[in-house]
Chain A
Amino acid sequence: MSVNAPSEKIERRKLATKPFARADRIFFAVSTAAAYSSFVIIALILIFLVGRAIPAFQTQGIIDFAFGSTWDSAATPATFQLGPMLWGSILISLIGVVIAVPLAISIAYFIEFMAHKTLAKIVTTIVDLLAAIPSIVLGLWGAFVFSPIAAGWAKMLNQSMGWIPIFDNPEQNFLRSPFIAGIVVAVMIVPIIASITREIFSQMDRDIINASLALGGNRESTFRKVILPTAAGGVIGGVLLGLGRALGETVAVLYVLNISFDINWGSVLQAKGGSVASMIISKFGEANPDEISALMAAGLVLFVFTLIINSIASYIVAKAQPWRK
C-alpha cells in the first residue's frame, strides 16, 4: 500500500462549506448581514453627506472650498472656504501627536518592561480611565482649569524663545491658542497610542529581548536597537489612529481655541487657529441652508480625511500584529 504514481489525479468531493440545516443558514445569514452593516453605515454616511454637500461644492468650487480662506454667510454671494480650518486641524493634531507620542511610549514601556505586576495593572487602569473621560468634560477642564496654567507656560516660552517664529506672539494674548488646543488633544490621544503600543510591546517575543540582554546589551540599547525597531510598525499605526482621533476632536477643542479664518500658519502661541470639527459645531446653530450645505461639505472633507488615515493606520496595526490574523 505504499505511495507510488504521485501524478495520478484524484477527484475531490464537495464538502459542506455552507451550513446545511435551515436554522443554521438563517443564523449565518443574519450574522453576515450584521457584519455588512458597518459597510452599509459608512456607505450611507458618504451618500448623505455628499448629497447635502453638492450645492456648496457647486457654488464654491471644490478647490476654493478646500483651500480658500474666507467664511462669510452674509456676503453676496455667500463665501464658504475651509482652508484655515483644515490647516488648523492639521496643526493642532500635529502638536497633539508630538506631545502625546513620547508620553504614550513612556507609559507603555513603563507598564510592560519596568513596573512590577501590581503597579503595571494600576497604571493600565489609569490609562483606560483617561480614555473613558468624555471629551466635553476635558473641554470644560481645558477651558477653566488648564488654559490659565498653559497660558503661563506659553508666556514663558514666548519670553525665552520668542525670536523663533513659531513662538512669536506680538499681541501677548496667550489664551485660546493652537498650543493649548494641541495639549488638550494630546491628553485625549495618549491613551489610544499608549494602549496600542502596550499591546505591541506585550506581544513581543521575550526571547529576542532576553537574547539581546544575554549578549551584553543593557536596557537602553535593548530598547533602542531591539524593542523600538521590532515594534515600530505597530507604534506608527497607533500614532496614526491617534492622529485620526485628534483631527476629529470637536468639543474639547471648541472651548480652548479661538476659531479664526485669518489663517495661522504656525505661530502656535497666538490666539487664533482652526479646527474643522469645532467650526462645524460652533456655526451649526445659526446656519442658514446655504451654510448648512457648506458645513456638510466640511464634514465630508473631515470624514474622508479621517477615513483615509484610519484605514492606513488599521492596516499597519494589523500587519504589525500577525498573531491576530
Chain B
Amino acid sequence: MSNLTYHLRAEDVNVWFGERHVLKNVNLAFPTNQVTALIGPSGCGKSTFIRTLNRMHELIPSAGFAGKVLLDDEDIYGDGIDPVKVRLNVGMVFQKPNPFPTMSIQENVLSGLKLSGRKNANNEELVETSLRRASIWNEVKDRLNDPALSLSGGQQQRLCIARSLAMGPKVLLMDEPCSALDPGSTRRVEETILELAPEMTIVIVTHNMQQAQRVADQTAFFLSEDGNPGHVVEFGATEQVFEQPIDPRTNDYVNGHFG
C-alpha cells in the first residue's frame, strides 16, 4: 500500500454537538481514486464524520470541531477558507434522493453551476457527460425537460449523483445513498459507483455490509460503545477487514453478532 497517494486525510478529528462528544480522534487517509466505505452500527458517528469532510456538519448550530481535514494537503478548516468553496470540490449525495422539485432534469444537472454562480461554455455537453457518468443518460435523454420528480426513486438518486458530478468534484461523499432504494435501483447505483471509482475518490457510508464488500477498496469500522464518543476501531483493505479482522469487535460486527 506504500505507493498510494492520499487525496483526502482526516487527522485527529473530534466532533461535539453541544457538550456531547460524538467523535473522538478519528484518523483516516482516503486513497486517491479508490472507494472507502465507512461501516458501523447506528449512532456510531459515521454519518457525522462524512459531513465533516465537506463542512456540512457545521450547519447544525451547536456543532464543535477539532482536528484537521486535509484536501490535497490544504486544511479545509484553515483560516480564511470559505466552507462554501470547500463544498465545490467535495460533492455529496444524501440518503434520500433530493432533486430540486421546481426544476427539470436538465436544470437539476446544471443547478450546481447556477447555484455557485459559475458559467459554463457548453451546457448541453456537460449535461450529457454528467448524466452518462451517472449511467442514467439512456433513460432520460428524451425527456430532459421533464420535472425531476417524474423520475423513479433510483433514477432520482442517480440524477443527484450526476448533479454532483457536473461540478467536477475531486471527492464524492455518499451518505447511505441506497438506503431509500429498492434492490434493483441499489444495483444500478453501485454499478455507477464502480464506474466512477477510477477517476475520483469516493467515500461511502453504508449500513449494508454486502454493499461495502461489493464496492469498497478500503473499509473503516466505526464504533461508539457505552456512551463513549464514536471512533475508528479498524481500518484497512476491505477483504482484510471482513475476512481477517484484527479487532474482535470488528469480527463480531461483520459477522452479524450485533448492530
Q: Do chains A and B touch in the complex (CB under 8 A)?
A: yes
A residues in contact (CB < 8 Å) with B: 1-3, 6, 10-13, 15-17, 20-21, 24
- Beta-carbon contact of A1 and B82 below 8 Å: no
Binding site for A on B (CB under 8 A): 14, 16, 24-25, 27, 55, 58, 61, 63-67, 77, 82-84, 228-229, 231-233
Task: Kindly state the separation between the CA atoms of A11 and B63 in the bound complex, as whole angstroms.
Answer: 14
Expressed in whole angstroms, the minimum distance between the Cβ of A17 and any Cβ of chain B is 8
A12, B64: Cβ atoms closer than 8 Å: yes
- Tell me how far the C-beta of B8 lies from the nearest C-beta in chain A, rounded to whole angstroms: 18
13 contacts between A and B (CB under 8 A): A1-B25, A1-B233, A10-B66, A13-B65, A13-B66, A13-B67, A13-B77, A15-B58, A15-B63, A16-B55, A20-B83, A21-B82, A24-B84
Decide if the interface of chain B is mainly helix, strand, loop or mixed: strand
Across the interface, do A15 and B231 meet the contact criterion of CB distance under 8 Å?
no
- Contact A1-B63, Cβ < 8 Å, known A13-B77, A15-B58, A16-B58: no
Please determine whether B84 and A20 come into contact, CB atoms closer than 8 angstroms: yes
Chain B residues with CB below 8 A from A1, complex form? 25, 27, 231-233
Q: Are B24 and A3 in touch, CB under 8 angstroms?
A: yes
Interface majority SS (helix, strand, loop, mixed), chain A: loop
How many A-B contacts are there with CB distance less than 8 Å? 41
Q: Give 5 A-B pairs besides A12-B66, A21-B82 with Cβ atoms closer than 8 angstroms.
A: A1-B27, A1-B232, A3-B229, A15-B63, A24-B84
Please name the residue on chain A nearest to B230 by beta carbon: A3
Tell me if A16 and B228 are in contact (CB < 8 A): no
Taking a contact as CB atoms under 8 Å apart, the answer to whether B14 and A10 are in contact is yes
CB neighbours of B66 from chain A (8 A): 10-13
A1-B231, A3-B24, A3-B231 known; A12 vs B65 contact (CB < 8 Å): yes
Query: How close is A18's CB to chain B, nearest CB, in angstroms?
Result: 11
- When A1-B231, A2-B231, A3-B231 are in contact, do A16 and B64 touch as well, CB less than 8 Å? no
- In the assembled complex, the CB of A7 is this many whole angstroms from the nearest CB of chain B, namely 12
Instruction: Write out the residue numbers on chain B whose beta carbons fall within 8 Å of the beta carbon of A20.
Output: 82-84
Q: How far is the CB of A11 from chain B (nearest CB, A)?
A: 6
* B16 CB contacts on chain A under 8 angstroms: 12
Q: In the complex, how many angstroms separate the beta carbon of B209 from the nearest chain A beta carbon?
A: 21
Contact of A15 among B64, B67, B84, B233 (CB under 8 A): B64
> In the assembled complex, how far is the CB of residue B235 from the closest CB belonging to chain A, in whole angstroms?
9
Q: How far is the CB of A1 from chain B (nearest CB, A)?
A: 6
Q: Which residues of B contact A11 (CB under 8 A)?
A: 66
Give the CA-CA distance A2 to B233 in the complex, in Å.
7
Chain A residues whose CB sits within 8 angstroms of the CB of B63 once the complex forms:
15
CA distance A6 to B231 in the complex (A): 13
Q: Within the complex, what minimum Cβ distance (angstroms) separates A36 from chain B?
A: 20
CB proximity of B78 to chain A, nearest CB, Å:
9
| Closest beta carbon of chain A to B221's beta carbon, Å | 11
Cα A166 to Cα B182 in complex, Å, equals 72
* B24 touching A21, Cβ below 8 Å: no
Question: In the complex, A12→B27 CA distance in Å?
Answer: 16
